[in-house]
Amino acid sequence: MHQKLNDCIDLLWQKDLPFVAYRLPQQNDISIIAQLTPKVRSFDLKSIENVSGFVIAPFESAETQKAYLLKPDIVIDSIDEVAKIEKIKSLPNKLSNNKLINKIWSKETYLEKADSVINDLKNKKLQKLVLSRVIEKKLQQDFNLGDAYAILNDRYTDSFNYIFHLPKIGSWIGASPETFLRISKSYVETMSLAGTKPIDNIDWTPKEIEEQVIVTDFIKNQLEGINIINYSVQDPKTLKAGNIGHLSKKFMIPIQDLQNKMGELVSALHPTPAVCGMPQQAAYEYILQIEAHDRKFYTGFLGPWQLNGQSELFVNLRCAEFNHSALHLFVGGGLTSSSFAESEWEETEYKSKTLLAIAENF
């Protein structure tokens, strides 16, 4: 990434303005969206067809139906447009001081919680549950936001890479492999993604295949529940995401079938069993009880929406909340009745390497 873009990102953070920098999967171009007023508005997901900007939905939007909308007061799509940022240089610096308040589980605590979940799954209380934890990584004083984002983009070309800051709400960085919703001229695309393996050792077992089937069946049921029956499902593929691979299937829905139904679709799909569990509502409530941290934006979704011809939302995975002194990485894994707690711990360790590798530079 060009140094001017790095500096642009760092400047926006210093001024404590709402902004996002993002790069779509397998693309080179980076876009920066900045809002000149500090308060970010929220909107009802049911009315998503009526908004335009950058959408950021927390995990709890499954319950509240509320998401944030970053207004595109400044849009930078190329290095040539960096001059647009000149107007904010005269603004005073306001050091953002968002506190990171998340409970960090020890390995022993995680294994105890995972065993409890697996036992409940065996007793048929749930079909699947995604259990997450938080890892803390201290940062050096010379942490540079733009440089960190540049390293992320250099290392991970297949994911949706972003960095955003919402004043008094939080700052996040991530590299997500999972499409939530993508709109093209003819189709709307979504994805069922489940199962994780190191990329150099892909051998899908019945456990991962079962996870994938659960997510795929859920999406089929949700589509048919809003009377969407004319869709196609592609054969499963291994989706590369940095040092790990996932099992995924792509759903394609003719765009005309979703006229005036986009809000319904978003509400029906979020949160999928890939990030929550099954049954959806019971798993969501279970997570709120068993996890010691607030997921915040982890396993929510985000992306440009009806912005410069782009409407692409991604599930917020491989992500971390950060401030000037630390990163808090959020990692999780899908548990079924055939899971083993130790193996699930190892899976979260694999997943953490995406962002830990970036943090090692600071």
pLDDT digits (tens, 9 = 90+) for 13-23: 888 999 999 99
Structure tokens at 92: 């005073």
pLDDT range class, residue 330, cuts 50, 70, 90: very high
Of 332, 339, 303, 305, whose CA–CA distance to 317 is shortest? 332
Identify the CA nearest to 322 among candidates 281, 279, 356: 356
Q: What is the pLDDT of residue 312?
A: 96
pLDDT value at residue 241? 67
Q: What is the pTM of this model?
A: 0.92
Higher pLDDT residue, 39 or 192? 39
- Report whether pLDDT(1) > 60: no
Task: Please determine, for residue 91, whether its predicted confidence score (pLDDT) is greater than 70.
Answer: yes
> Among 35-39, 71-75, 76-80, 273-277, which stretch is predicted with the lowest mean pLDDT?
76-80
pLDDT at 242: 66
Average pLDDT taken over every residue of the chain: 89
Work out the average pLDDT over 306-324: 92
- Using the 8-state DSSP alphabet, how is residue 310 labeled? B
Return the domain boundaries, the chain: 3-88+105-359
**Rounded average pLDDT over 203-209:** 78
The pLDDT, as a whole number, for residue 249 is: 87
The angle subtended at Cα 321 by Cα 320 and Cα 322, nearest 5°, is 110
Q: What percent of the chain has pLDDT over 90?
A: 58
Task: Return the pLDDT at 2.
Answer: 65
214 in Cβ contact with 273 (< 8 Å): yes
Superfamily assignment of 3-88+105-359 in CATH?
Anthranilate synthase (3.60.120.10)
- Give me 351's structure tokens: 């997943």
Asked if 76 contacts 85 with a C-beta cutoff of 8 angstroms, the reply is yes
**pLDDT tens readout for residues 289-313:** 999 999 999 999 999 999 988 999 9
Using CA atoms, how far residue 214 sits from 55, 176, 205, 327, 336, in Å, is 27, 21, 15, 32, 10
pLDDT-based confidence at 204, cuts 50/70/90? confident
The whole-number pLDDT of residue 129 equals 94
Mean pLDDT of the region 240-250: 76
More confident residue, 235 or 281: 281
